[in-house]
Amino acid sequence: MKTIALPADHPDVMAGRIGVLLVNLGTPDGTTYRPMWRYLREFLSDKRVIEWPRIAWYPILYGIVLNTRPKKSGAAYAAIWNTERNESPLRTFTRSQGEKLAVDLAAEDNVIVDWAMRYGSPPIAERLEALCAQGCERILIFPLYPQYAAATTATVNDKAFETLQAMRWQPAIRTVPPYFDEPVYIDALAQSIEAHLESLDFEPEIVLASYHGIPQSYFDKGDPYHCQCQKTSRLLLERLGWPKERLMTTFQSRFGPEDWLQPYTDKTVEALAKDGVKRLAVLNPGFAADCLETLEEIAIGVGEVFHEHGGEQFSHIPCLNDSAEGMRVIKTIVLRELQGWI
């Protein structure tokens, strides 16, 4: 960022504003080899995501993963790509969340809302610089992850503070804590589930709450993610008033040879189908917006696993996205975290 050297009372300097930056995981700029390679390199080079020593990981990353995975991942993205906008659904939804939040906060005329991605574009550094250039002396950073994990929430905060290190004139910063047990979030999830199930022409025997997994070793080192996922599921079950056996918690998206949090979503779905479960629904309470892991891995891939092993009726329950329920969650948390600033 270019150093801002003008005094605070200079007539050309905008000041006194408050910024809100929504941040999600990230997205490639396209589904072909080169944009996928760039995105995967940035993502899988993050020490928060892959904690192996670089001397062990980089030969695998550059020698195997980046030579094979871009094509496979590109095909997966192509299956769910927003062709109208030529972008991933995650970018579409995150942009819309930012735009709708700006409308919701329009009464606060000194608040500016923006959005960014941890990997890919628009990058965190660029959008923080843009907020500062618009006179934001205080900025709230909102990692859009209900449950905290070092590989998600922490790396967003890392990148934000890394950007601040290069600034001579730094804004004051607040970061939003995880909201896995916030009543507004649990209620929004429950309402979305109830509305979706009412729209189906069948009643699921079991509903899976599928969360993105993390390596078991990360949990063993003290990452609170697993515990927070379990609490989300417990509170959701209580809010829905369902018997315990109707809602199951599983973990998806494992990568590499390590053991990850279990039970695994795909293996659980396969076992349920083989055991005679014919009607199943899956939701993703760990995602604020639908993305590759929900639309391709679950709605398409896990649905195919269910049908291949004897299941008959399957449905994926959409994430909160930019729905009225989802925006109520974001707005409620933002207004709470801005107390004392507005």
Domain 20-177+326-337 shares a fold with domain 183-316? yes
pLDDT score of 76: 97
Among 251, 243, 252, smallest CA distance to 205 is for 243
Beta-carbon count within 10 A of 179 CB: 25
Task: State the Cα–Cα distance between residues 254 and 264, nearest whole angstrom.
Answer: 8
Non-local (6+) Cβ contacts of 202 within 8 A are 279, 313
Asked if residue 289 lies in contact with residue 89, where contact means CB atoms within 8 angstroms, the answer is yes
Task: State the Cα–Cα distance between residues 89 and 257, nearest whole angstrom.
Answer: 29
For residues 303-326, give the mean pLDDT. Answer: 98
Confidence class of residue 13 from pLDDT cuts 50, 70 and 90?
Answer: low
pLDDT at position 150 over 60? yes
The conformational region for residue 256 under phi > 0 = left, psi -120 to 50 = alpha, else beta, is left
Non-local (6+) Cβ contacts of 66 within 8 A are 37, 40, 41, 44
CATH code: domain 20-177+326-337 is 3.40.50.1400
Q: How many residues does the chain have?
A: 342
pLDDT in tens, 97-115: 999 999 999 998 899 999 9
pLDDT score of 10: 45
Fold of 183-316: Rossmann fold (3.40.50)
Asked if residue 281 lies in contact with residue 275, where contact means CB atoms within 8 angstroms, the answer is no
Non-local (6+) Cβ contacts of 183 within 8 A are none
Instruction: Sketch the domain layout of the chain as residue ranges.
Output: 20-177+326-337, 183-316
Three-class SS of 286-301: CCCCCCHHHHHHHHHH
What single-letter amino acid sits at 337? E
pLDDT at position 8 over 50? no
Our CA angle for 44, 322, 37, nearest 5°, is: 20
